[in-house]
Amino acid sequence: MRAAGVLAFEYESARDSNNGICLALYNTSAFLHNKPNHTEQWLCETTANEVMFKPLYNSNIHHFPLDNFLVDGVLPVQA
C-alpha cells in the first residue's frame, strides 16, 4: 500500500467489542495542517481491571476493560 502511494487507511478494531474503526497513517503528509485547530482536556484513570477516559467538559466516559485485550487470558507481549 505504501508503494502504491496510500497515505492513510481505516480498519476495524480487533479488540473493540463495538467494532470501532482504527486509522493508520504512513506519514504525516496526510494531515492538512501541522498544528491542531482544536484541543480538549481529558482525564484518564487506570485500575488493575480497566482504563477509563473522560473528556473534562463532557460526561461521556469511555471504558476499556482489561478483558478486551487478553488473548487466552493473558496480555500479549508487544511485537
pLDDT at 79: 63
Instruction: Mark whether 51 and 17 lie in a shared domain.
Output: no
Instruction: Mark whether 23 and 45 lie in a shared domain.
Output: no
Instruction: Mark whether 48 and 18 lie in a shared domain.
Output: no
Query: Tens digits of per-residue pLDDT, 17-62?
Result: 788 999 999 888 877 887 888 899 999 999 999 999 999 999 999 9
Instruction: Mark whether 8 and 26 lie in a shared domain.
Output: yes
pLDDT at 78 > cutoff 80: no
Instruction: Mark whether 25 and 43 lie in a shared domain.
Output: no
- Reading the block at residue 57, the C-alpha cell is 467538559
Instruction: Mark whether 21 and 46 lie in a shared domain.
Output: no
Per the structure, the complete domain to which residue 68 belongs is given by 38-79
pTM metric for this prediction: 0.59
Instruction: Mark whether 26 and 61 lie in a shared domain.
Output: no
Residue recorded with cell 500479549:
76
Asked whether the beta carbons of 48 and 66 are under 8 A apart, the reply is yes
Q: Phi and psi of 30, rounded to 5°?
A: -70, -15
Rounded Cα gap, residues 16 and 23, in angstroms: 14
What is the number of domains present in the chain? Answer: 2
